[in-house]
């Protein structure tokens, strides 16, 4: 019995190591990617010709915390896309483990909520692993500098998942305002609070 327990624990630890990646932090160079959006189009960040940067949000359809932040993400896009920082949302969840996060369900969610930003499917989970995302939601603010995507901020949107109106630390918004005003980002990293990404087995 102990032998089987040891093997099981070892397997779980190995799976965790395989999924765990070194998370991007402020100052790192982020990789571009090419993923399919809910319209069936392949999208890369380089194709946003008018963008100065991005609010990359690891997102999904099912997480209760994501649902609480849904309007706040749409508000960020409405406010900052015209200033050169659009939202790009990415669903990394394995639909085999979370059927509500399938590509078809993504299309339904985007339509029902009238998303005006791209909602992409990371079906291989390669982008989530490369970025070191652990949760949904998990925010990465990036800026183009000399043809490279520089990480400016990583973490939560704000410090109150339940009610954004009483959040007294609006991390993402503060970071974006600092970037647009040419000031250093004071808080460049926070803990992403939400649901763990549903990683593929094996």
Q: For residue 85, what pLDDT is reported?
A: 99
Residue 90 has pLDDT above 80, yes or no: yes
Residue 17 has pLDDT above 80, yes or no: no
Helix (H) or strand (E) run with residue 67 in it? helix 64-80
pLDDT band at residue 102, thresholds of 50, 70 and 90? Answer: very high
Average pLDDT taken over every residue of the chain:
92
Residues 6+ apart with CB under 8 A from 57: 73, 87, 88, 89, 90, 137, 138, 139, 140
Question: Average of pLDDT values for 2-6?
Answer: 41
Q: Confirm if 157 and 193 have CB atoms less than 8 A apart.
A: no
Q: Confirm if 117 and 89 have CB atoms less than 8 A apart.
A: yes
Residues 6+ apart with CB under 8 A from 42: 34, 35, 36
Strand extents, DSSP E, 18-146? 29-30, 34-37, 42-44, 53-58, 87-91, 118-121, 135-136, 138-145
**Lowest-confidence segment of 21-25, 56-60, 169-173, 195-199 by average pLDDT:** 21-25
Distance CA 83, CA 117 (A): 14
Q: For residue 22, what pLDDT is reported?
A: 83
Give the residue among 153, 129, 151 at the shortest CA–CA distance from 28: 151
How many residues are recorded in the chain?
A: 202
Residue 95 has pLDDT above 50, yes or no: yes
pLDDT in tens, 57-72: 999 999 999 999 999 9
Q: For residue 21, what pLDDT is reported?
A: 58
pLDDT in tens, 115-131: 999 999 999 999 999 99
Task: Report which DSSP code applies to 189.
Answer: B
Question: Average of pLDDT values for 84-111?
Answer: 99
Q: For residue 13, what pLDDT is reported?
A: 41
Distance CA 159, CA 168 (A): 7
At 84, list the tokens: 């050169």
At 186, list the tokens: 């004071």
Distance CA 135, CA 128 (A): 9
Residue 84 has pLDDT above 80, yes or no: yes
Domains of the chain: 23-196 (3.40.30.10)
Distance CA 37, CA 183 (A): 33
**Lowest-confidence segment of 13-27, 28-42, 165-179 by average pLDDT:** 13-27
pTM tops 0.85, yes or no: yes
Collapsing DSSP states into helix, strand and coil, what is residue 107?
helix
């Amino acid at each position: 019995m102990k032998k089987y327990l040891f093997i099981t624990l070892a397997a779980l630890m190995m799976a965790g190591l395989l999924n765990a990646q070194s998370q991007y932090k402020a100052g790192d160079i982020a990789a571009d990617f090419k993923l399919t959006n809910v319209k069936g189009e392949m999208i890369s960040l380089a194709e946003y010709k008018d963008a100065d940067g991005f609010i990359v949000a690891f997102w999904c359809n099912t997480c209760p915390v994501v649902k609480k932040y849904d309007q706040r993400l749409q508000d960020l896009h409405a406010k900052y896309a015209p200033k050169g920082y659009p939202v790009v949302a990415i669903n990394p969840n394995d639909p085999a483990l979370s059927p509500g996060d399938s590509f078809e369900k993504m299309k339904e969610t985007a339509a029902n909520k009238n998303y005006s930003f791209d909602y992409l499917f990371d079906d291989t989970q390669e982008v989530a692993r490369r970025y070191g995302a652990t949760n949904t939601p998990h925010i990465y603010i990036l800026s183009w500098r000399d043809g490279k995507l520089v990480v400016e901020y990583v973490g939560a949107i704000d410090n109150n998942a339940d009610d954004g109106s009483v959040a007294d630390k609006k991390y993402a918004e503060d970071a974006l305002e600092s970037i647009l005003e040419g000031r250093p980002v004071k808080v460049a990293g926070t803990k992403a609070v939400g649901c763990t990404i549903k990683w593929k087995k094996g």
